[in-house]
Structure 1
């Protein structure tokens, strides 16, 4: 018996593959718009400035106010990021006043800051005299003014280094 071949299967309609293409132009436009928006609305870091008030130049007939030695602390800025300090004032013309003891420290948190805080606790209204040595750097002056601000010193003055102060320093620091 002859066998009949099976009927042919109907042909499947194949879907045509379309290539996918994503247009990135709107996304790039949006990214640049957001970037521009945040750049223009952001406040940049403002420089921090410490206010330093300089005294008015004295008139010829004004007299200087004497500073008691018991309230004074003198800081001399030296080389190598070092600070020298002593308590009181140097008075070379008065032999009854002993020569102050010079202490050496640095600008770290356990250095001059601790000395200033300890002196401020012992004296109710201390006065700090800041003197730049011949080999001091500008950054040392900025650092000591920062320490005055950190420790809350109310009265401090930038003064000239005297001959008596130079005698307290080591020979390498005097030049």
Structure 2
């Protein structure tokens, strides 16, 4: 049992010693019970911060596919982002050898990548007969993980429905990055 004892007997210098009076006793059992009940209540009723994660659709591991199989996509629908060094990227529409637009160097800012994606999201359905845009994100060896995350964040902000991260970067794209001085340490 929790209790609080107080000493109320005074002893002054010189004089008769007096009988020590015991002070009042305060029983703290009810207060301790209440404290634990409140702690339990608040622990059960508060919600913890949920981790924020982006849903990414991954291919099924059980389905065997030929790794050298290329998927043919209408060049009017495809926009490719080649991630380079120095927090910059090169984007182009269509084929790297004969692009419909670009290649252009941009950064990951609101005026850079986001503006490009918003503009292309409006243009592609008109060019491709109403079909939506497909974005291919190709990180190079010189890009960092933060660049991939920034590109994925922009996909979510602009509400791009179809995008993929490719682990293959073509030699023409590496040459494009070298030409723009975006393939260095």
What TM-score, normalized by structure 1, do the two folds share?
0.70
CA distance in 1, matches of 2:26, 2:111: 62
Q: Secondary structure at the match of 1:120?
A: helix
- Tell me if 1:167 matches 2:168: no
Question: Aligned equivalents of 2:147 and 2:27: distance in 1?
Answer: 55
CA-based RMSD of the aligned residues comes to 3.0
Note the residue ranges of structure 1 that are not aligned, 5 or more in a row: 1-19, 92-96
Q: Which residue of 2 aligns with 1:133?
A: 140
Question: For the structure 1 residues 126 and 50, does the alpha-carbon distance in structure 2 shift closer, same or farther, using more than 3 Å as the test?
Answer: same
Give the alignment of 1:143-154 within 5 angstroms: 143-154=150-161
Corresponding pairs, count: 152
Corresponding residue for 1:88? 94
Q: Kindly indicate which of the two structures has a greater share of residues assigned to strand.
A: 2
Superposed, 1:102-113 pairs within 5 Å as: 102-113=103-114
Aligned counterpart, 1:117 = 118
Q: Between Structure 1 and Structure 2, whose CA radius of gyration is higher?
A: 1
1:110–1:88 CA distance, 2 compared to 1 (3 A)? same
2:54 paired residue number: 50
Residue equivalent to 2:13: none
Give CA deviations for 1:85-111 in whole Å, capped at 9, x if unaligned.
1222113xxxxx369633222222222
SS at match of 2:79: strand
Matched, 1:69 2:78: no
